[in-house]
Structure 1
Amino acid sequence: MSGFAVYHRLLTYLKPYWWAGLLALLGNIIAAATEVSSARLIQYIIDAINQQDQHAKNLFPLLIIILIFFRGVGSFVGGYYISVIARSVVHNLRVEVFDRLLTLSPEYYLAHASGYLSSKIIYDVEQVAFASTEAAKTILKEGLTVIGLLGYMFWINWRLSLMLIIIAPLVGFLVRKASKRMRKLAHQMQNAMGEVSHIVNESINGYTVVKNYGGQAYERERFRRASAENLKRGLKMVVTSGLNSPIIQLLMAFVMAAVVWIALRPEILGATTSAGAFVSFIGAAAMLSKPLRALTDVNEKIQRGISAAHSVFEMIDTPPEEDQGKLVKPLVGQITFEHVGFSYSDNTAALTDINLTINAGETVALVGRSGAGKTTLINLLMRFQNISSGQLLLDGVPIKDFTLESLRSQIATVGQQVILFDQTVRENIAYGQLSNKSDAEVRAAAKDAFADQFIDALPQGFDTLIGASGMSLSGGQRQRLAIARALLKDAPILILDEATSALDNESEHYIQQALTHAMHGRTTLVIAHRLSTIEQADRIVVMDKGRIVEQGTHADLLAQNGLYAQLHQREFVDVVTSND
């Protein structure tokens, strides 16, 4: 997308605020008119002095006060309503980008670090404000001032004023060359800022590892390099902008010098021109310098904004997560994998020819070495990834026929990595679609997850804020809140991924009882590395290298003396060794 196309699209966000634009235009017209009136006022007082007009001289102080008053009113009105547009555009863009972020596929999140995504919302959108409004403010105010001053000068002497138009093509060429350079640098600055944000996010989220392993010096140096790269790009942009403006100003100085030199020749300016008109013309020419300098300097803001807008629109235009399903219906819970295969974008196979039927209400455990494909199988069921071959059926219906909302609303999950939010305990349990659950239901879910006792001991009980990621709670407490959330959802399909990994032995005993209660009547898939936790499963499916190699009850698999028996024996030896 070209810079013009980006800027044109950006301007469409201003349409709802046309009324504010009209008021901003009116205010800037008033402010620009006062600039022209300043030159006219010079002519007024000089002619009054030459003509010994005492009444005009007495009126001059009042005219100055009136001029300054209207300049203040115009500047305030113009600046305020431009700011209304600016902040509204930033707000709307941020909301649109965040809305798109919530609909993007899991693959997009895997391909883009969180620091880069947050940088788009925080930094890039803010830069867009300069292109859409702050730059527009300068162009509007200073542009109207230039037009007004030139109009006044043409009114006094149009032949002389034409000289100022001669350099317009050369100025346009310089601005265009500088624009390309600054847009490229602005894009590089955005990438550098994304890297800075990424490092900060990693250091904050992993502060325990940083401190425990003495990574402060490494992280400090990594941040310093990223920040230095951002500084380098920023200084290059300053150099480009800094050279562009003085060069244009120098060109203007030559032309202005020529105008003044010629204006000092009465035979050129006109014999009938009064001294006041002569001084007013020179004053108007001199007053052009400030708005012209502002107009040349604003190019940097525009290029920053266009580059940032390109980045923002790129995210907005990213297709949302594919959801072609139209079926919305309650699930019983039967899951069927028919010759299912899955490969990553580089054609690396993660699952091969998976054939598995899980009956409604059955508890099936998935075991195997790391990388066997257990999590990938779950991701396909949640449609975080889409199958490459074969067919995945729910109650005999292809999974793609269901809407994503209908599908995911009927699957509850408890993972090894618990995700909590900087909200109250109640809001974390009754999250999202569960927010309409009653207080009694929330408390019952917490009780079933054996979380009610530690919650009641908190300062404000269920209304206690738990901090970012629930860091004010222990690992076991966080996991019990996640289990309570899953119990509150009361979905026909339950997925447990190492759901008891962060619990102590006593808590695990109670949680196992709670999970046994939760699994009753539900189709449950359990991923477990500790085989002792899944011995009571209706069926155990053993996976290796993306394939199902064994399945049966705990006793059956031990009798087969295959991979499961090896894994079980190894875990038994590890437990005995650790106890010794």
Structure 2
Amino acid sequence: MARNTSTAPVTSKPRRHTLKRLIAYILQDKIRLWAVIIAAGLATYTMVLGPKILGQATTAIFEGLISKMLPAGVTKEQAIEGLKASGHESMVDMVASMDVHPGSGVDFTHVAQILALAGAVFICTVLLRWIQGWSLTRLVSNAVHRMRKQIEEKLDRLPLSYFDRVPRGEVMSRTTNDVDNIGQTLQQVLGEFIFSVFTVVGVIIMMLTIAPVLTAVSLIVIPVILLAAYLVIRAAQPHFFKQWSATGTVNAHVEEMFTGHMVVRAYGQESHVIEEFDKRNRELAQASFKAQALSGATMPLTQFFGNVNFVMVVIFGGIKVLHGTMTLGDLQAFSQYVRQMNQPLGQLSSMATMLQGCLASAERIFEFLDEPEEESESESQPDVLAGRMQGLVQFDHVKFSYDVHKPLIEDLSFTAQPDQTIAIVGPTGAGKTTLVNLLMRFYEIQGGTIAIDGVSTRDLTRAQLRRHFGMVLQDTWLFDGTIRENLVYGTHEEVSEERLLEAARATHVDDFVRRLPQGYDTILTQDSSELSLGERQLLTICRAFLSQPDILILDEATSSVDTRTETLVQHAMNELRKGRTSFVIAHRLSTIRDADRILVVNHGAIVEQGTHDELLAKQGAYAELYRAQFAGAVED
């Protein structure tokens, strides 16, 4: 049941190019980016002013307390002389550097004014940070929106060969989980990165205005922190890529097993599936653990060196206060600045490790966006088959193979006349579905010509060509929505209620839709469990009927329904085939007895062709297939 869903070997690649491409999405919205930068810069300015202002309040209170301790009625100079005479030499330098008024006490009015100013500054910081956050949310949302749009457009341009070789779960993981990871990481990292950079710069400037020498001592720790962060990031980088690659593998396995869960249970493969899942889940857990464990070491290392830095500042600053070369308020402000500097440094280190996971996801998405596409076409190319076509289809010496080393179709030619029904039969893997895939240019031929009404399909764009086709497949695809919305899905014009009901009656859809509580407004879920398989198949036939195609393709449309439902489906398909060229791929030969021509295909070549009776009379490959289905069943 399980197929090989492994991807290419996981390698850690240089991320400079990936980061540049990711930043390009952000730079497309320059106005909001500048709003984020300006708001972050102003918020940083007001934030770094806060400790300086609070330091002034502390200095005012401290000077008031010292003033209260000094005798009233003397000048500052006389108070200093008194300290010298009383043997308090240690306080002389400190008092000399202060603005003291002996006996006056604390000026609470002045302190209140300083605190009010500090409160206003902090309120401004909060408002500016809110503006920054709001602008950032819009910036990131728009960037992710553009990325999702590119992914959706890319899906429409990818050839079928891509989806043949890449598991559906892997595609879903890249287009959902990885995009979500990028959006969440950018939201967390980008704003804090800008604010942290501004904070470090602003704090260093303020520290230099207070104590240049002490600032130099504090900055010694920065290279140590950056070096530690770099080593951690470098070690964690490959594990983040493994983590998200393993996530895609797990998703692919889960999606495949969920789709085929009935087969898994029928063959008793639950234990094998669980074992396979456990194996892939362990690989994901190991990669995630290593990535998160290494990245988690960044913050403790930063905090350790930051605390060492803080202790050094307090010791040297205390000595300067005692010697009168620094006020207590300045020491308080400087200590707060050290804390403010250590915090963004730690955040920058932590963000750098978070960014590794984001870049791993971005790399996977860019790999998807860089996949080879279908050959581009000019949208202005004239539609030489505009209007309703006659339906003459010619295959002329067509050559095609999925693998250059394994030829499939080497020289195939046949003609389908207008309004004819061409049945294509043959053993599994003979190339039946390949013929219609080539006709609709899902794959490009490698030699020869396919023409419709004398016009090569290569002279039309894919959209111009496929506008004339209608398809009914074995897999009944219906989307979330009402029955009415599903029926008119393939039409290019407004469908009247009368026309809708006419098509529904002709294809036996009206018979069961009328019995539903909401009728044609009944909402179908993705798996359409409200309807039987035959009813879902009739809906797809009605959808094709409403699209009024010039050429119809029926690919195993009755293979998965019961005999009674097959009769209804067959009758609906007969109505659908009237007046148009039709190609019918079928394993049940009973459904193609009235075909105008039957092509018996094997190994990519037409081995027989003719009507049902003609081919039976030849006693060849078709007769053998017929006997295998009917005569063998009778003998059993």
TM-score where L is the length of structure 1: 0.92
Q: How do residues 18-417 of structure 1 correspond to structure 2 at under 5 angstroms? A: 18-52=30-64, 53-266=107-320, 271-324=324-377, 326-328=381-383, 329-330=385-386, 331-345=389-403, 347-417=405-475
- Corresponding residue for residue 69 of structure 2: none
SS at match of 1:470: coil
What CA deviation, in whole Å up to 9, does each residue of 1:67-124 have, x standing for no partner? 4423332332222221222222222222221221122111111121111111122211
- Residues 428 and 3 of structure 1: CA distance in aligned 2, closer, same or farther (over 3 Å): same
Q: Tell me how far apart the structure 2 counterparts of residues 218 and 440 of structure 1 sit (CA, whole Å).
A: 54
Is residue 456 from structure 1 mapped to residue 514 from structure 2 by the alignment? yes
Q: Is the 8 A contact 1:178 1:241 kept in 2?
A: yes
Q: Which amino acid aligns with 2:517?
A: P
Q: Which amino acid aligns with 2:393?
A: I
Is residue 557 from structure 1 mapped to residue 615 from structure 2 by the alignment? yes
Larger mean CA deviation between 540-549 and 19-28 belongs to 19-28
Q: Tell me how far apart the structure 1 counterparts of residues 622 and 528 of structure 2 sit (CA, whole Å).
A: 36
Of 489, 506, 524, the residue aligned with 1:431 is 489
Q: Is the 8 A contact 1:434 1:488 kept in 2?
A: no
- Residues 72 and 324 of structure 1: CA distance in aligned 2, closer, same or farther (over 3 Å): closer
What CA deviation, in whole Å up to 9, does each residue of 1:436-471 have, x standing for no partner? 322222222221111111011112111111211323
Q: Which amino acid aligns with 2:547?
A: K
Q: Tell me how far apart the structure 2 counterparts of residues 239 and 500 of structure 1 sit (CA, whole Å).
A: 55
Q: Which amino acid aligns with 1:479?
A: Q
SS at match of 1:469: coil
Larger mean CA deviation between 187-196 and 240-249 belongs to 240-249
Q: Structure 1, unaligned stretches of length 5 or more?
A: none
Of 512, 523, 527, the residue aligned with 1:469 is 527
Q: Tell me how far apart the structure 1 counterparts of residues 571 and 109 of structure 2 sit (CA, whole Å).
A: 100
SS at match of 2:409: strand
- Corresponding residue for residue 8 of structure 1: 20
Q: Which amino acid aligns with 1:402?
A: L
Shift of 1:432: 4.3
Q: Tell me how far apart the structure 2 counterparts of residues 435 and 180 of structure 1 sit (CA, whole Å).
A: 57
Shift of 1:293: 1.5
Q: Tell me how far apart the structure 2 counterparts of residues 236 and 350 of structure 1 sit (CA, whole Å).
A: 47
Q: Which amino acid aligns with 1:11?
A: I
Shift of 1:381: 0.8
- Residues 279 and 553 of structure 1: CA distance in aligned 2, closer, same or farther (over 3 Å): closer
- Corresponding residue for residue 583 of structure 2: 525
Q: Which amino acid aligns with 1:481?
A: L
Q: Which amino acid aligns with 2:283?
A: E
Larger mean CA deviation between 161-170 and 410-419 belongs to 161-170
Larger mean CA deviation between 221-230 and 383-392 belongs to 221-230
What CA deviation, in whole Å up to 9, does each residue of 1:367-423 have, x standing for no partner? 111111111111111111122222222222222111100111111111122211122
- Corresponding residue for residue 73 of structure 2: none
Is residue 540 from structure 1 mapped to residue 607 from structure 2 by the alignment? no
Shift of 1:318: 2.7
Q: Tell me how far apart the structure 2 counterparts of residues 437 and 429 of structure 1 sit (CA, whole Å).
A: 10
Larger mean CA deviation between 274-283 and 453-462 belongs to 274-283
Shift of 1:324: 3.6
Q: Is the 8 A contact 1:27 1:73 kept in 2?
A: no
Q: Which amino acid aligns with 1:122?
A: T
SS at match of 2:495: coil
Q: Tell me how far apart the structure 2 counterparts of residues 509 and 339 of structure 1 sit (CA, whole Å).
A: 37
What CA deviation, in whole Å up to 9, does each residue of 1:341-378 have, x standing for no partner? 22123521222311211122221111111111111111
What CA deviation, in whole Å up to 9, does each residue of 1:186-211 have, x standing for no partner? 22111111122223322332343345
Q: Tell me how far apart the structure 2 counterparts of residues 9 and 488 of structure 1 sit (CA, whole Å).
A: 44
Q: Tell me how far apart the structure 2 counterparts of residues 439 and 181 of structure 1 sit (CA, whole Å).
A: 65
SS at match of 2:214: helix
Q: Tell me how far apart the structure 1 counterparts of residues 555 and 510 of structure 2 sit (CA, whole Å).
A: 23
What CA deviation, in whole Å up to 9, does each residue of 1:117-143 have, x standing for no partner? 111222111222245442111112222
Q: How many pairs align?
A: 577
Q: Tell me how far apart the structure 2 counterparts of residues 54 and 368 of structure 1 sit (CA, whole Å).
A: 99
Q: Tell me how far apart the structure 1 counterparts of residues 490 and 225 of structure 2 sit (CA, whole Å).
A: 56
SS at match of 2:471: strand
Larger mean CA deviation between 343-352 and 106-115 belongs to 343-352
Q: Is the 8 A contact 1:26 1:74 kept in 2?
A: no
Q: Structure 2, unaligned stretches of length 5 or more?
A: 1-12, 65-106
Q: Which amino acid aligns with 1:35?
A: M
Q: Tell me how far apart the structure 2 counterparts of residues 346 and 173 of structure 1 sit (CA, whole Å).
A: 52
- Corresponding residue for residue 496 of structure 1: 554
Of 466, 475, 479, the residue aligned with 1:421 is 479
- Residues 469 and 54 of structure 1: CA distance in aligned 2, closer, same or farther (over 3 Å): closer
Shift of 1:478: 0.9
Q: Which amino acid aligns with 1:49?
A: I
What CA deviation, in whole Å up to 9, does each residue of 1:291-339 have, x standing for no partner? 2211211112211112211222222233432244735224321221222
Q: Tell me how far apart the structure 2 counterparts of residues 10 and 432 of structure 1 sit (CA, whole Å).
A: 37
Q: Tell me how far apart the structure 1 counterparts of residues 248 and 529 of structure 2 sit (CA, whole Å).
A: 26
Q: Tell me how far apart the structure 2 counterparts of residues 356 and 461 of structure 1 sit (CA, whole Å).
A: 44
- Residues 342 and 270 of structure 1: CA distance in aligned 2, closer, same or farther (over 3 Å): farther
Q: Is the 8 A contact 2:169 2:255 kept in 1?
A: yes
SS at match of 1:468: coil
Quick check: which has more Rg, 1 or 2? 2
Shift of 1:165: 3.6
Q: Is the 8 A contact 1:327 1:401 kept in 2?
A: no
- Residues 350 and 54 of structure 1: CA distance in aligned 2, closer, same or farther (over 3 Å): same
TM-score where L is the length of structure 2: 0.84
Q: Tell me how far apart the structure 1 counterparts of residues 243 and 398 of structure 2 sit (CA, whole Å).
A: 44
Q: Tell me how far apart the structure 2 counterparts of residues 43 and 518 of structure 1 sit (CA, whole Å).
A: 86
SS at match of 2:408: strand
Q: Tell me how far apart the structure 1 counterparts of residues 568 and 605 of structure 2 sit (CA, whole Å).
A: 34
Shift of 1:18: 3.2
What CA deviation, in whole Å up to 9, does each residue of 1:458-499 have, x standing for no partner? 121111112113232111101111111111121111111222
Q: Tell me how far apart the structure 2 counterparts of residues 139 and 271 of structure 1 sit (CA, whole Å).
A: 38
Q: Is the 8 A contact 1:27 1:77 kept in 2?
A: yes
